[in-house]
């Protein structure tokens, strides 16, 4: 499937739908071929192929959209560009599989998480040992395959040796940052009082840079962007990436499970140190602080505790504060774009994607 | 440090010591630079750097030795060859970190495993949540870094674009097989009665091909080996790899903890489905079978249960049977070499390495 050269027919949404379909197509083909070649006919590897295949069908495809938008700032994306962009979705699948194990998340995108699926299989087969440990190990191994295949898909995308050589250092850095960011995130979650500075630094390393800025720069650099363009996209990407992460934090607390595919208050249950929670702690008055401390100490949270928690976070003004930060960062992103020469279409796409990041409800 | 072109001065052992020192040197440099560039000054990332740095110091360096021996079948190994060989040790570090988490192994190479070190740190810092879960997550993330860095070290080794393009498909295949083999291994461990065929197939996928055959072929192919040479090395590698794995299984049961760095009977405690255990089950008479079933059902094993288990495995003849299989596979390896033109030195090295694999005590 080709991505329309022009977005004039039905606007940016049409471009994004085309891009998503084209990327999904390439990923399906790539993962299907790898599964056929590498996984074999044993029952557990057939299950693995099934889990991998279903996993890549879901998701928002944000990273590939930014990679293609970055490429499209320079020239029209080629089929090789679509494959290179798709490789970032596989990298993201790796990160999600591991995160879900580490956070012990029961659901992802409205379905049981991979480790839960593998654990159920273990139970159904009547195997010895702990089903949940088996499930977690199998999900980590599925993640390994995505990490390896992501890089293989990028390398075999057909973007050309010179383009690859330009971006691989950035790609390696992004992958290292992802692991390091996740470690720092776990430590922040486990600290009773991380600072906003700590939490924002980690959010940048772990999610922001690898969700928006990294893919955008990678796409632009593959297409041969000038240093000036890369600089502007980098600034835009850092700002929009932070807006994305703040929105993620807000949705993790106040999102609608139907839309997010995650249980209400999941981040509270997991005691995640998000920017919104840190803001709430920083803004709380004495009484609110006492009440937060009480909720923090509860070993488990029932539905009414979650409601109390959320009402308290709102009462501190942290929710509105975070909303203002989102708007501010989106404006920063727009400012960064104003300093560089871009086609109207490329600019429209970036404005649209920034809006999607900051103002989505899923 | 250079690897001597000739082994005549102090024989194969000298060559191997030189190779190991040269590889260790390159790995130390590479991991040190990545740690400085990517890990940052937070306490948890300094601990991470420390764990990674200490991890690469240990081990037998079998994979890099085979990679260099493969290269040396074609020409004298260059510094780029040493770096490419070193990258296989980083890949192995990745696999060990993950395996230790999945097997919940307390010790590796005579020291606490990485997940135990991270858990201790978590406890020492008084962080919230489960220290052991944190430790396992951190160790998996350390493994991710090794997986990414391994590939980066291979790509940046300086072996040249054409050589890299030749071996990357093999490398990708090896990495996929590693994850798939580990999954199948977990399933075999959890099956009450896996067959020898299952266990040998997995041992081949998981360990054999990636310990001996894979590195050997990769080194030879990087150096530009002919198809005939690659074919002979592949046969040798498959046979010697299986001997290596059988010896591993024997050491996992009957090894001396001082030499192996692992507790007595660790594989029994973990209920690992090794070839030796499967042989014991297949060879057991009715009374032995009953006694094996009794031990299999014990929820935990104390020292005297382990002694009973080991005595029973020996009494079935499985230990001797496995020893004969080791000898047979080593002979098969030698036969494979007899069909190809090699320098005396290259042949001597391969004979020596095969002997180390099959007859080591650590």
Across the interface, whether the CB atoms of A190 and B128 are under 8 A apart is answered: yes
- Which residues are paired to A108 by β-bridges? A111
- pLDDT exceeds 60 at position B247: yes
Secondary structure (3-state) at B112: strand
N-to-C CA span, chain A: 26
The C-alpha of A16 sits at a distance from chain B's nearest C-alpha, in angstroms, of 31
DSSP B71-104: HHTTSPPPHHHHHHHHHHHHHHHHHHHHHHHHHT
**B227 falls within a domain:** yes
Q: Which residue has the tokens 């995505």?
A: A146
Burial call B25-57: b when 16+ CB within 10 Å, e when fewer: ebbeebbeebbeebbbebebbebbbebbeebbe
The C-alpha of A10 sits at a distance from chain B's nearest C-alpha, in angstroms, of 41
Owning domain of residue A145: 11-359
**B29 falls within a domain:** yes
Task: Judge contact between A134 and A114, C-beta under 8 A.
Answer: no
Contacts of A183 in chain B (CB under 8 A): 44-45, 48, 137-138, 141
Query: What's the pLDDT at A143?
Result: 98
Please indicate whether residue B109 or residue A323 has the higher confidence score (pLDDT): A323
pLDDT in tens, A243-272: 999 998 999 899 887 777 667 777 787 778
Task: Judge contact between A222 and A75, C-beta under 8 A.
Answer: no
* B162 at interface of A, judged by CB pairs closer than 8 A: no
ipTM summary value: 0.91
Query: What's the pLDDT at B207?
Result: 66
Structure tokens at A169: 């250092």
Q: How far is the CA of B127 from the CAs of A190, A196, B119, B120, B123, in angstroms? A: 5, 18, 10, 11, 6
**B5 falls within a domain:** no
- pLDDT exceeds 70 at position B1: no
The C-alpha of A58 sits at a distance from chain B's nearest C-alpha, in angstroms, of 23
**With pLDDT > 90 as the criterion, what percentage of chain B qualifies?**
70
**Closest C-alpha among B101, B134, B152, B274 to residue B202:** B274
* Mean pLDDT for chain A overall: 91
* A314 at interface of B, judged by CB pairs closer than 8 A: no
Across the interface, whether the CB atoms of A180 and B45 are under 8 A apart is answered: yes
* CA distance linking residue A124 with residue A119, whole number of Å: 9
**B252 falls within a domain:** yes
Query: What's the pLDDT at B26?
Result: 97
**B351 falls within a domain:** yes
Phi, psi of A274 (to 5 degrees): -95, 165
Contacts of A182 in chain B (CB under 8 A): 137, 141
Give the total number of structural domains in chain A.
1
**A198 falls within a domain:** yes
β-strand pairing of A111-112 with B107-108: unpaired
Residues 186-215 of B with CB under 8 A from A: 186-187, 189-192
* CA distance linking residue B209 with residue B47, whole number of Å: 33
* Torsion of the alpha carbons at A203, A209, A213 and A215, rounded to the nearest 10: -130
**A212 falls within a domain:** yes
- Which residues are paired to A282 by β-bridges? none
pLDDT in tens, B269-325: 777 878 899 899 999 999 999 999 898 888 888 888 999 999 999 999 999 999 999
pLDDT in tens, A44-91: 999 999 999 999 998 889 999 999 999 999 999 999 999 999 999 999
CATH classification at residue A32: 1.10.600.10
**Closest C-alpha among A326, A342, A345 to residue A230:** A342
Phi, psi of B262 (to 5 degrees): -120, 155
Query: Under the phi-then-psi rule, with left for phi > 0, alpha for psi from -120 to 50, and beta for the rest, what region is A19?
Result: alpha
Contacts of B133 in chain A (CB under 8 A): 102
Across the interface, whether the CB atoms of B183 and A149 are under 8 A apart is answered: no
**A113 falls within a domain:** yes
* CA distance linking residue A105 with residue A110, whole number of Å: 12
The residues near A275 (Cβ < 8 Å, ≥ 6 apart) are A196, A199, A200, A203, A245, A246, A249, A322, A325
* B183 at interface of A, judged by CB pairs closer than 8 A: yes
């Amino acid at each position: 499937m080709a991505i329309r050269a022009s977005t004039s027919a039905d606007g940016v949404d049409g471009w994004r739908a085309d891009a998503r379909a084209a990327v999904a197509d390439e990923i399906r083909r790539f993962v299907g071929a790898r599964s056929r070649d590498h996984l074999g006919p044993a029952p557990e590897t057939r299950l693995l192929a099934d889990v991998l295949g279903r996993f890549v069908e879901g998701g928002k495809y944000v990273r590939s959209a930014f990679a293609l938008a970055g490429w499209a700032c320079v020239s029209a994306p080629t089929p090789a560009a679509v494959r290179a962009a798709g490789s970032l979705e596989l990298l993201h699948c790796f990160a999600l599989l591991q995160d879900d194990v580490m956070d012990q998340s029961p659901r992802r995108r409205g379905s049981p998480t991979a480790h839960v699926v593998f654990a159920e299989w273990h139970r159904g087969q009547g195997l010895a040992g702990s089903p949940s440990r088996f499930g977690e190990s199998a999900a980590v191994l599925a993640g390994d395959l995505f990490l390896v295949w992501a890089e293989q898909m990028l390398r075999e995308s057909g973007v050309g040796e010179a383009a690859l050589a330009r971006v691989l250092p950035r790609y390696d850095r992004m992958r290292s940052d992802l692991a390091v960011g996740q470690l720092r995130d776990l430590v922040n979650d486990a600290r009773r009082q991380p600072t906003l500075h700590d939490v924002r630094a980690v959010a940048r390393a772990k999610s922001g840079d690898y969700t928006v800025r990294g893919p955008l720069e990678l796409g632009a650099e593959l297409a041969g962007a000038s240093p000036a363009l890369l600089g502007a996209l980098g600034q835009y990407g850092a700002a929009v990436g932070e807006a994305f992460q703040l929105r993620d934090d807000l949705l993790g607390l106040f999102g609608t499970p139907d839309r997010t595919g995650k249980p209400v208050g999941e981040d509270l249950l997991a005691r995640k140190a998000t920017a919104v929670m840190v803001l709430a702690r920083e803004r709380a008055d004495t009484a609110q602080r006492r009440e937060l401390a009480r909720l923090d100490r509860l070993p488990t949270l029932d539905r009414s505790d979650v409601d109390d928690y959320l009402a308290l976070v709102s009462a501190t003004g942290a929710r509105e504060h975070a909303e203002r930060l989102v708007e501010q960062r989106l404006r920063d992103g727009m400012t960064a774009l104003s300093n560089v020469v871009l086609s109207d279409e490329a600019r429209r796409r970036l404005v649209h994607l920034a809006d999607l990041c900051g103002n989505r409800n899923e």
